[in-house]
Amino acid sequence: MYAKHLICTVVIGFIGIFLITIGASGAEPEQIHLAVTETQNEMVVQWGTEEDTQVSCNSPTEIEYGTESDSLDMSQSGTNEMYDWTTCIHTVILPELEGDTTYYYRVGGTGEWSDVYSFTTHSTLLIADNDIRIGAIADHGTSSNAEETTENMLNADLDLVIHAGDISYADDIGSGNGVGDQRVWDEYQNQIEVLASQIPHMYAPGNHEEEGEPHGFEPYETRFYSPGSSSFWYSFNFEGVHIISLSTEHNYDVGSTQYSWLENDLEAAQDNREEVPWIVVFAHKPMYSSNNHGSETEFRDAMEELLYRYQVDLAIWGHDHGYERSYPVYQEEIYSDMTGTEEEPYYQPGATIHIVVGMAGRSLYDFEDPQPEWSYYREASDYGYTYFTVTNDGLLHYEYLRNDGTVGDDFWITKNEPEEEPEVVIDEEENNNENLTDESNNVSKENEIPPIGMLTTIITILIVSSARKRS
Ligand SMILES: [Fe+2]
């Protein structure tokens, strides 16, 4: 009896240990990507694991990290979430990171760790002591052109990527399957992992992020971290740049929650402009575009006044598959006819410059309508990406790079007031001095005449006097 009980206990024990081992091993981490928070010394790490069910995440959510690749001596755990699909999304926030430092990390947990990846933090100072470079793309997808864009972005020395929506095209229309296809999300996020595991990516929702029932925006909301209380509109400071993500896919009318949030955010950003001088907005549907879909005029009517009131420097959009850059423009009126060269950069141009960056990978649209006056440059013949460099001495340089390596467009803005040209003042003074010299010369010449005249008069008087005496 005792022996039977002992055997049962041992067997149950083995089964328990076996089950615990199975539970702890988890699935292989994939789709590893980074994001930033509102706090400049943190990094968000997210990844996916393929689970057996759509409701229960059995894989651990741990990170080991450190500043030496062979000594991951710090660890952090996080949270995980699922949404009606077998991919579990894990999120860990790494706190109190040193600035300008390379960290090595691996994700997963007991039994199934990823390879070791790395990222380099940017400066933790609010006013940059070094240049920063921010990539900007939209309408990406999983095509070979999209892959080529991603590969090229790997060589661009970026600190951050902002993505203005239409990310994977997993939705009913984008996937071509008539239903939202979550495998497309998994494929996309595995494809972008090579870049997104080392450079943080921040997103704005596009129309292709909204799927039919039952998912809606849930895949987008679950798969991507965003700071603040909304996944759809949020902001953060990245050194000297205040970056705002908006949603053209949700209510933006005057007085709406999103509108009020933007108004308050821009007011605070304006108050903080001495410390963070640049303001950049990005969202999906463009306020200005002369391509296939055209300008999103309802959105523009609602929110453009806020961009103008607070003098937002750049507004970056997607949706139309090509590249287009506007002059500084408000209500279709051009505020500067300069083009922003390196020699003559824009300085307080008076209105926002709008850029459409929808040429990252999905099929390009041809421009069919004539180029409007507010449009400075447009092309839709090549795939590629854009980025802008913000220097520590007040310059912003925006570039569009085609995938063949050539520059499609670029422009400069400065926060430094151009120096007055002093030549005109000097010339006037010199002219005045010359006039004065001439006048004084004339005066002295005139003064020379009286003595000669006087001498002549005296001689004349003497001659006349002498003649009278003789006579
Ligand atoms: Fe779109």
One domain for residues 150 and 25 = no
CA of 41 to the centre of ligand 1 (A): 33
One domain for residues 366 and 425 = no
Q: Of 41, 49, 31, which is closest to residue 94 (Cα–Cα)?
A: 41
CA of 171 to the centre of ligand 1 (A): 11
User: For residue 211, is it within any domain?
Assistant: yes
* pTM (predicted TM-score): 0.85
Residues within 5 Å of ion ligand 1, judged at the Cβ atom = 166, 206-207, 319
Look up the CATH number of the domain holding residue 255. 3.60.21.10
Q: What is the pLDDT along the chain (471 residues), one digit of tens a residue?
A: 444 444 444 444 444 444 444 445 689 999 999 999 999 899 999 999 999 999 999 999 999 999 999 999 999 999 999 999 999 999 999 999 998 899 999 999 988 999 999 999 987 544 456 789 999 999 999 999 999 999 999 999 999 999 999 999 999 999 988 889 999 999 999 999 999 999 999 999 999 999 998 899 999 999 999 999 999 999 999 989 999 999 999 999 999 999 999 999 999 999 999 999 999 999 999 999 999 999 999 999 999 999 999 999 999 999 999 999 999 999 999 999 999 999 999 999 999 999 999 999 999 999 999 999 999 999 999 999 999 999 988 999 999 999 999 999 999 999 999 987 666 555 554 444 444 334 333 333 333 334 444 444 444 444 444 444 443
One domain for residues 238 and 256 = yes
One domain for residues 64 and 190 = no
CA of 318 to the centre of ligand 1 (A): 7
CA of 378 to the centre of ligand 1 (A): 18
Q: Of 273, 280, 363, 364, which is closest to residue 324 (Cα–Cα)?
A: 364
CA of 404 to the centre of ligand 1 (A): 25
CA of 69 to the centre of ligand 1 (A): 40
One domain for residues 167 and 306 = yes
Query: How many structural domains compose the chain?
Result: 3
CA of 288 to the centre of ligand 1 (A): 14
Instruction: At 270, list the tokens.
Output: 């304006």
User: Rounded to whole angstroms, how far apart are CA atoms 399 and 410?
Assistant: 4
CA of 319 to the centre of ligand 1 (A): 4
b/e 56-73 (16+ beta carbons within 10 angstroms → b): ebbbbbbbbbeeeeeebe
CA of 368 to the centre of ligand 1 (A): 18
Q: Examine the fold and report which residue of 95, 121, 147 is the final residue of a domain before the chain moves on.
A: 121
CA of 209 to the centre of ligand 1 (A): 9
One domain for residues 167 and 105 = no
User: For residue 224, is it within any domain?
Assistant: yes
CA of 208 to the centre of ligand 1 (A): 6
Q: Examine the fold and report which residue of 62, 97, 121 is the final residue of a domain before the chain moves on.
A: 121
CA distance to 66, 167, 239, per residue, from 122 (Å): 16, 25, 8
Q: Examine the fold and report which residue of 121, 154, 181 is the final residue of a domain before the chain moves on.
A: 121
85 is in which domain, residue-wise? Answer: 1-121
CA of 284 to the centre of ligand 1 (A): 7
One domain for residues 444 and 402 = no
Whether the CB-CB separation of 188 and 167 falls below 8 Å is answered with yes
One domain for residues 64 and 113 = yes
CA of 215 to the centre of ligand 1 (A): 18
One domain for residues 94 and 168 = no
One domain for residues 465 and 387 = no
Give the SS3 label for residue 39.
Answer: coil
